[in-house]
Amino acid sequence: MPLVLEQYFLTGRFHATRWNQNPFEDAHGEWPPSPWRLLRALAARWFEHARETGDRDAEPRDSLLNRLAATPPAFNLPTDARQTSNWPARGLKHYQPTSVEKSDKNQGERWVKRAQTTLVIDGFTSVPPNLPVLWIWSEVNLGPSSAELLLLDQLLRRITYFGRAESLSLLRRIPISGTCPAPNCELRPDTREASPVLIPDPGQPLNLDVLLAHSDDLGVKGRRIPPGTAWWYARRPALPRAPRTPPVRTRPPVSIIQFAVGGRVFPSRDSWIRLTERFRGAVLDALARILLADSRAKFRYLPHEQQAQFCLLSGKTDANEALQGHLHLRLWLLPDHSGAPTRLVCYRSKPFEAVEQDAFLAASELPITWQYGNADWQLRLVPLPDETALPHDCFATVSTWQTLTPYVPSRHVLGRNGKPRAGRSVADQVSDDLAKVGFCGAIITVDEGSRYWVKVHRPRPLKGGPTNDLKLGYEVRIQFAAPVTGPICLGHSSHFGLGLFVPAG
């Protein structure tokens, strides 16, 4: 019948130093517990047993200890046990007194003797207090009513700590009626890369004088290990690793995402669109990488049928046609009080989903170069909280609006002969654009003296198509008969920030 002992560490910590080691220099400590330590604990508790019961017959004790020392046990260790040497902050830290020295009179202190201290680390093994350590002797057969077995139960009952005194422990024998528990840690003499454990040498008889000797006794002092012992090695069970699952993001849908714009050199007002159109391309590429799980994916290289899932951001249908209904992305570059473009606003009437928000955040991690051939003129984007107020109230309900960014007519105002075309004046085109979005009955005032050249968004140039990306922009004021609610974005490249109206100041 095999012998199985069950041991609990009640405080969840096992403090024990390997033989001949300084307790404050042994960062690893002893794990699994040493069979030599168990034999010493049993032998020491025999004297308490003899004093309390009056039974001083040493023959059952010697027989029990010899049978336990004949073969090393195997262990079933809790897989959650961890040594503090594997943690970033090892063990417990406290100050240890070193010497007593006189105080320094030069520092104005009174003459006293003061204990000097040093900070030391007390390592231990963290063992779950509800999980036992099983000691398993598969070849030790003690009779069910033998004197050795009865004595073993009495000695185990008296062991209240194991290792150092703060390692409170509970040891007891488990009656085995069926299959013996399977070990997950065995001691071997030749596995040097594993953890060393001190055991009584199975090839030598047990020397009780050495077993009960103090570490300063002449027969033990100065030796690497006590006579009649040996280092065997235990390969501990691997720590359990929880499967890594990607965090589930629960971003609430939002219609506005804002970024603070920072950099050394900001683009001039006529080139603001360079920032918005390049950021849009970075967002589409980031979305392609996320949806396709391909770190090299680029939106512009995807087939048209795969671009259908990007339509609300790209502004194109799966047939590569313009998306109707003004549901796709709008990018506004808003200036601060000094006129510098320091706020990038991403808006869509249909709220952005979580994966789209991830694409915006991924694109903002990359710098944006707004001028070719000059890497020093880069801008960085910093995401802002959803509660951040807009620098300009584009969603107000007022009757008078004015351009914050220049309005660019979608059609040519002048003909080839340089004369104005009928029905294509700037005011006419503003009125037509207002009618398309459902606003009618407005008085439109165009400041002809404010016009200047601005860059507009051009898709990839087609053979025979226009190559010039400069057009005239105008400052426009709109007076409605009744208050209307924004946003109002009109004209060429309005989805990239041009033709944005704000309440008139």
What single-letter DSSP state applies at residue 309?
A: G
Confidence class for position 109, pLDDT limits 50, 70, 90? low
Q: How many CA atoms lie within 13 A of 382 on its CB side?
A: 7
Q: How far apart are CA 432 and CA 456, in angstroms?
A: 20
Q: How far apart are CA 39 and CA 64, in angstroms?
A: 10
Q: How far apart are CA 86 and CA 31, in angstroms?
A: 13
Q: Is pLDDT of 64 > 80?
A: yes
Answer for the pair 29, 124: CB distance below 8 angstroms, yes or no.
yes
Token digits of residue 236? 């501990």
Q: Is pLDDT of 311 > 80?
A: no
> For residue 256, which of 136, 165, 349, 178 has the smallest C-alpha distance?
349
The total number of residues written for the chain in this structure: 505
Q: What is the pLDDT of residues 119-142, one digit of tens each?
A: 777 778 888 899 999 999 988 877
Q: Outline where 334-375 has alpha helix (H).
A: 354-364
Q: Which residues of 463-485 are buried (b: 16+ CB within 10 A; e: fewer)?
A: eeeeeeeebebbbbbbebeeebe
Q: How far apart are CA 311 and CA 358, in angstroms?
A: 17
Q: Residue for token digits 């259908």?
A: 308
Answer for the pair 115, 100: CB distance below 8 angstroms, yes or no.
yes
Q: What is the pLDDT of residues 250-301, one digit of tens each?
A: 788 899 999 999 988 888 888 898 899 899 888 988 888 887 777 777 776 6
Dihedral sign of CA atoms 100, 102, 103, 106 in order: negative
- pLDDT of 105 reads 59
Q: How many CA atoms lie within 13 A of 222 on its CB side?
A: 3
Q: How far apart are CA 199 and CA 71, in angstroms?
A: 9
**Mean pLDDT across the chain:** 83
269 φψ region: left (φ > 0), alpha (ψ -120 to 50), beta (else): alpha
Token digits of residue 30? 């002893």
Residue 447 β-bridge partners: 475
Predicted TM-score (pTM) of this structure = 0.52
